[in-house]
Structure 1
Amino acid sequence: MARPVTLFTGQWADMPLAELAPKAAQWGYDGLELACWGDHLDVEKASRSKRYCQQQKKILEDNGLRLFAISNHLTGQLVCDLNNDSRSDAFAPADCAGNAEKKRKWAVKTMKQTAKAAANMEVGVVNGFTGSSIWHMLYSFPPVTDEMIDEGFKYFAKMWNPIFDAFDKQGIKFALEVHPTEIAFDIYTAKRALKAVGNRKTFGFNFDPSHLHWQMVDPVMFLREFPDRIYHVHMKDAALQLDGKSGILASHLNFGDQNRGWDFRSLGRGGVDFEEIIRALNHMGYAGPLSVEWEDCGMEREQGAAEACEFVKMADFAPSSVLFDSAFGD
């Protein structure tokens, strides 16, 4: 069982898809996970035009690549985020800039369209973010009450259940990338998010070990907690760089700064234990793609993408089909 190895195109959106696809094929990838930004996938067009979808898929097919999932992280973030500063203005059309509720309204409509786009692209999973109205309350000072946190999870359910209804109509699953600034960022909040939406099957997770690792949450434990909710897998590495001066809050230092308490790394160059992750995925029976999300500010990205593909293919292995000591039987 060789799981397909794909490349998430979100970090490559500056490069036209027609230019990226042959590179990805040359690097050894089996497919792409198309981001819904840049020219890689236009959600509005894909939701209403199967001809457009065929055009985008042909770019992959012409390069021997397959499509297993699409991802709309940026739009999803606006659904529950406070949207109260300029950081997310670029995630929505220009006429939404500076208007929190206009960004939110556009995001809800567009996430519903994303379900239709996925159906037209003939994939079953959309990866993305949800945003969170309570992330800024993380430290609990000024004091935060339990009721405030409860309201945050209720708001998540209120905003996302209608979107999940649209996903249900198209037979598409939504996989949240568990991640700081989202409603779920570790095991406890992931459980709470599932409960908030009534454990509906539409909602699951895009497993990304890097975001768990730097928080010092065991990625394998996450897999064991949610074996039936892992709808997609990102392969991404991270390294703790704690030196007694910095912490995991990263000191307001940008990615790539050697003084940060943690940073993303090219696959195999950080601290994530991919051996145990593959074993856990085998126990779960996960047969979907292993999608490289490549980020490493200290490494040239094309070299990194090629190396990462090779690493994943070396790290992956099929489970045994026989018991070890069965050879001793009659």
Structure 2
Amino acid sequence: MSRPVTLFTGQWADMGIDELARKAAKWGYDGLELACWGDHCDPDRGAQDAAYARGRHELLAKHGLKCFAISNHLAGQLVCDPNDDARTDAFAPEDCAGDAEKKREWAIETTKNAARTAKNMGLSVVNGFTGSPVWHMLYSFPPLPPSAIDDGFGRFAELWNPILDVFDECGVKFALEVHPTEIAFDLYTAKRALEALNHREAFGFNFDPSHLEWQGMDPVKFIEAFPDRIYHVHMKDCATTLDGVSGILASHLDFGDPRRGWDFRSVGRGDVDFEAIIRALNAIGYDGPLSVEWEDAAMDREHGAEEACQYVKNIDFPKSGRAFDAAFGD
């Protein structure tokens, strides 16, 4: 049986959920991965109002769609982010603006509520970000003592362990999308994040190959390194376009600028080897959704979302239950 193909709604939060569900069904999706912003899913309300939480399923069911996970990226970012500039003000309520710790307090409670909402929806996974106390120290100049990074991972554990206690109480897992600006942005930092949390089961990963690909890694190696921690999968593509002038750090150029050294692409139109990823997911027994996170600044998003759905359905295939040459043995 093929895995369900869903659409992550984060890039569609400007569109009402009923309208988006209608379009997604027409495009061929099996479900939506609901973002916890816009009118798609309110984690604070869903934590307190079981009828609202169930109603998310009922709304999608009208269009023949299901929900397998919700995503709490924006609030999660503020848990560990320094929160010391205006960029993060947009992620939190207006009365938190300019107050780093007020944003953090709101983010922690909202992330806990995402777990409670997932429980009320009968879901087992919440995707999201963690933020990072040390991302701004990525390039070690001024010189940085190793203890500063150790302290950063300790701070991550200090902030996230109480959140994960609520996830455990709810029987829900948190799946970090390994991503620049998060505590884990590659394979080594992912290992370190798990170690900081003593490998507690509530914490795993939302595998997104695009963020690994443009950094120069083989995304399949990530699946092989964490076979029991792939709790959800994003299908997103990217392409590196280094030409001897552009750089991998993207030169402070906006997405979509042709001068960038890399950019996101519609699924199947970039550098990611999705067939190798499907084979690796089959090898670890992953049978959850393949969720399209559609981002391509040079393509109409509705055209891209429909095309991406069909691409993912075509590239997916179930694992064989027998060796192809078994028939020769009898």
Aligned-residue offset at 1:56 = 2.0
Match of 1:111 in 2: 111
Aligned-residue offset at 1:114 = 1.0
Distance in 2 (alpha carbons) for counterparts of 1:57 and 1:26? 18
1:279 pairs with 2:279? yes
Distance in 2 (alpha carbons) for counterparts of 1:244 and 1:273? 24
Q: Is the partner of 2:69 in helix, strand or coil?
A: strand
Distance in 1 (alpha carbons) for counterparts of 2:266 and 2:258? 15
- Post-superposition Cα deviations, 1:18-41, rounded to whole Å, max 9, x if no partner, equal 110010000000000000000000
Match of 2:223 in 1: 223
Aligned-residue offset at 1:50 = 1.2
1:3 pairs with 2:14? no
Match of 1:264 in 2: 264
Q: TM-score, normalised by structure 1?
A: 0.99
Match of 1:145 in 2: 145
1:120-139 superposed matches below 5 A: 120-139=120-139
The AA in structure 1 aligned to 2:255 is F
Q: Which moved more, 1:15-24 or 1:320-329?
A: 320-329
Match of 1:25 in 2: 25
Match of 2:54 in 1: 54
Match of 2:156 in 1: 156
The AA in structure 1 aligned to 2:236 is K
- Percent identity (aligned): 68
Q: Is the partner of 2:283 in helix, strand or coil?
A: helix
Aligned length: 330
Match of 1:14 in 2: 14
Match of 2:300 in 1: 300
Distance in 2 (alpha carbons) for counterparts of 1:300 and 1:109? 36
The AA in structure 1 aligned to 2:246 is S
Distance in 2 (alpha carbons) for counterparts of 1:179 and 1:209? 10
Structure 1 stretches of at least 4 aligned residues deviating more than 2 Å after TM superposition:
none
Match of 1:88 in 2: 88
Match of 1:321 in 2: 321
Distance in 1 (alpha carbons) for counterparts of 2:26 and 2:326? 42
Q: Unaligned regions of 5+ residues in structure 1, if any?
A: none
The AA in structure 1 aligned to 2:238 is A
The AA in structure 2 aligned to 1:277 is I
The AA in structure 2 aligned to 1:79 is V
Distance in 2 (alpha carbons) for counterparts of 1:54 and 1:160? 27
Aligned-residue offset at 1:55 = 2.3
Match of 1:43 in 2: 43
Q: Is the partner of 2:176 in helix, strand or coil?
A: strand
Distance in 2 (alpha carbons) for counterparts of 1:101 and 1:271? 40
- Post-superposition Cα deviations, 1:152-200, rounded to whole Å, max 9, x if no partner, equal 0000000000000000000000000000000000000000000000000
Distance in 2 (alpha carbons) for counterparts of 1:300 and 1:160? 38
1:309 pairs with 2:309? yes
Q: Is the partner of 1:87 in helix, strand or coil?
A: helix
- Post-superposition Cα deviations, 1:52-76, rounded to whole Å, max 9, x if no partner, equal 1222221100000001000000000
The AA in structure 1 aligned to 2:245 is K
Match of 2:190 in 1: 190
Q: Unaligned regions of 5+ residues in structure 2, if any?
A: none
Distance in 1 (alpha carbons) for counterparts of 2:56 and 2:191? 36
Q: Is the partner of 2:309 in helix, strand or coil?
A: helix
Distance in 2 (alpha carbons) for counterparts of 1:43 and 1:3? 26
Q: What is the alpha-carbon root mean square deviation over aligned residues?
A: 0.6
Distance in 2 (alpha carbons) for counterparts of 1:124 and 1:271? 31
- Post-superposition Cα deviations, 1:222-265, rounded to whole Å, max 9, x if no partner, equal 00000000000000000001011111100000000000000000
The AA in structure 2 aligned to 1:228 is D
Distance in 2 (alpha carbons) for counterparts of 1:225 and 1:163? 25
Distance in 1 (alpha carbons) for counterparts of 2:137 and 2:281? 34
1:170 pairs with 2:170? yes
Q: Is the partner of 2:67 in helix, strand or coil?
A: strand
The AA in structure 2 aligned to 1:102 is K
Distance in 2 (alpha carbons) for counterparts of 1:54 and 1:195? 36
